[in-house]
C-alpha cells in the first residue's frame, strides 16, 4: 500500500534508537524527509547513515539535543523546513516508590512525558491546519491503559498528555483540516530501554538476564516482545494519507497483554 506521504517532512523525536528509530525507518521507507533527534550524537549519526541507506532519495537531518528542554525543541523545529508529521517521543521516567519522589522529580517527568509533546503540538498544529495536512503521533505507554505500580511517574505524566490530547484532537479547527493527533501505546518492545529495565530486575532477583527475559516473554500471549520495526510500521500508517478519519485515539500495541475486552 502506498501510504501517500512521500515528500512530507517528519520530525521524529528521540529517534537514534528503539521505537523512535523504528518510526523514522518506516517513514523514510515511505519517502518522507526526516529530522531525527537524540541527546547523544554518535548513535544519532549512525542512525542517520542507516536511514540514508534505506532511502537515498530522502533528506535526513540530525539535531543533537534534549527534546525535553525549550532549547532542544527550538533546535529541532528550526531544522525542519515544515512539520507535516510529528512523532513525539522521549525517554521514560525511572521506576520507583512514589513516597520518595519530590516535586522536582515530578516536574522532570511532566516536562519529559507531558509538557514537551504539548509544546511541540502547540508549535506545529496551526500551520498543519493551514496546509490541510498534519499527523501527530505521541508515543506513550500501555501504562496509560493499565497502570504499572512502580512506573507512577509515567502513569501520571502520560495520562496527563493523553487527557489533554483527547480534547485538542477534537477541535474542529484541526480535525476538519485533516490534522490528526493520536497516541501509540507500546507494551513490551525489545529495545535498549526494555533490556535496561530487565537488567535491573535480573540484578534484584539474582537471575541471569536471559532467564528474566524468557519469563517476561512467556507472560505475553504472543510469547515474545514486539519489535521496533512493527512499531514503526504502525506509526507510519497512522501518519499516512489513509488515516485522516482517526483522531483522538489511543492504540495499544502489546501483543494482547491488556486483558480487557474494551
* Positions in the binding site for ligand NAP (CB under 6 A): 14-20, 37-40, 43, 66-68, 89-92, 139, 141-142, 186, 188-189, 191-194
As measured in angstroms, the least distance from the Cβ of 116 to ligand NAP is 8
Placement of cell 501510504 in the chain: 3
Are 109 and 151 in contact, with CB atoms under 8 Å apart?
Answer: no
Alpha-carbon distance values, 186 to 211, 226, 260 (Å):
22, 9, 16
State the DSSP code for 243.
G
- Give, in degrees to the nearest 5, the angle at Cα 211 between 208 and 212: 90
Tell me how far, at minimum, the Cβ of 199 lies from ligand NAP, in Å: 12
- CA distance linking residue 14 with residue 92, whole number of Å: 11
Looking at the Cβ atoms of 216 and 242, the one nearer to ligand NAP is 216
Rank residues 151 and 174 by Cβ distance to ligand NAP and give the closer one: 151
Cβ 41 to ligand NAP shortest distance, Å? 8
Smallest gap, in angstroms, from Cβ of residue 227 to ligand NAP?
A: 10
Nearer to ligand NAP, 14 or 236 (CB): 14
The separation between CA 161 and the C-alpha centre of its own chain, rounded to angstroms, equals: 12
In the bound state with ligand NAP, the residue whose beta carbon lies nearer, of 142 and 179, is: 142
Minimum CB separation of residue 2 from ligand NAP in Å reads 27
If the CB atoms of residues 68 and 247 are measured against ligand NAP, the closer one turns out to be: 68
Neighbouring-strand partners of residue 251:
184
> In this complex, which beta carbon is closest to ligand NAP, that of residue 122 or of residue 170?
122
Query: From the CB of 152, what's the least distance to ligand NAP, in Å?
Result: 13
Cα gap 150→127, rounded to integer Å: 39
> Shortest distance, CB of residue 191 to ligand NAP, whole angstroms?
3
Q: Among residues 50 and 126, whose Cβ is nearest to ligand NAP?
A: 50
Pairs from 141-144 (Cβ < 8 Å, separation ≥ 24): 141/92, 141/185, 141/186, 142/185, 142/186, 142/187, 142/252, 142/254, 142/257, 142/258, 144/183, 144/185, 144/250
Backbone angles phi, psi at 212, to 5 degrees: -65, -45
3-state secondary structure of 161: helix
Amino acid at each position: 500500500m502506498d501510504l501517500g506521504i512521500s515528500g512530507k517532512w517528519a520530525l521524529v523525536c528521540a529517534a537514534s534508537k528503539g521505537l523512535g528509530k523504528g518510526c523514522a525507518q518506516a517513514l523514510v521507507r515511505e519517502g518522507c524527509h526526516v529530522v531525527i533527534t537524540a541527546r547523544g550524537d554518535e548513535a544519532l549519526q549512525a542512525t542517520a547513515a542507516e536511514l540514508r541507506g534505506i532511502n537515498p532519495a530522502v533528506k535526513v537531518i540530525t539535531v543533537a539535543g534534549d527534546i525535553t528542554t525549550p532549547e532542544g525543541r527550538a533546535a529541532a523545529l528550526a531544522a525542519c523546513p515544515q512539520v507535516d508529521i510529528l512523532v513525539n517521543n522521549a525517554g521514560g521516567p525511572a521506576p520507583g516508590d512514589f513516597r520518595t519522589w519530590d516535586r522536582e522529580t515530578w516536574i522532570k517527568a511532566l516536562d519529559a512525558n507531558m509538557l514537551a509533546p504539548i509544546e511541540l503540538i502547540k508549535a506545529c498544529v496551526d500551520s498543519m491546519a493551514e496546509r490541510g495536512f498534519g499527523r501527530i503521533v505521541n508515543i506513550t505507554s500501555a501504562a496509560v491503559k493499565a497502570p504499572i505500580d512502580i512506573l507512577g511517574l509515567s502513569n501520571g505524566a502520560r495520562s496527563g498528555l493523553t487527557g489533554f490530547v483527547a480534547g485538542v484532537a477534537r477541535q474542529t479547527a484541526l480535525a476538519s483540516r485533516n490534522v490528526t493527533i493520536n497516541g501509540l501505546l507500546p507494551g513490551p518492545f525489545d529495545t535498549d530501554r526494555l533490556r535496561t529495565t530487565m537488567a535491573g530486575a535480573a540484578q534484584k532477583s539474582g537471575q541471569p538476564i536471559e532467564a528474566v527475559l524468557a519469563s517476561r516473554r512467556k507472560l505475553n500471549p504472543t510469547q515474545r516482545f514486539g519489535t521496533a520495526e512493527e512499531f514503526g510500521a504502525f506509526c507510519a500508517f497512522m501518519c499516512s494519507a489513509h488515516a485522516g478519519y482517526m483522531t483522538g485515539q489511543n492504540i495499544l500495541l502489546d501483543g494482547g497483554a491488556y486483558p480487557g475486552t474494551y
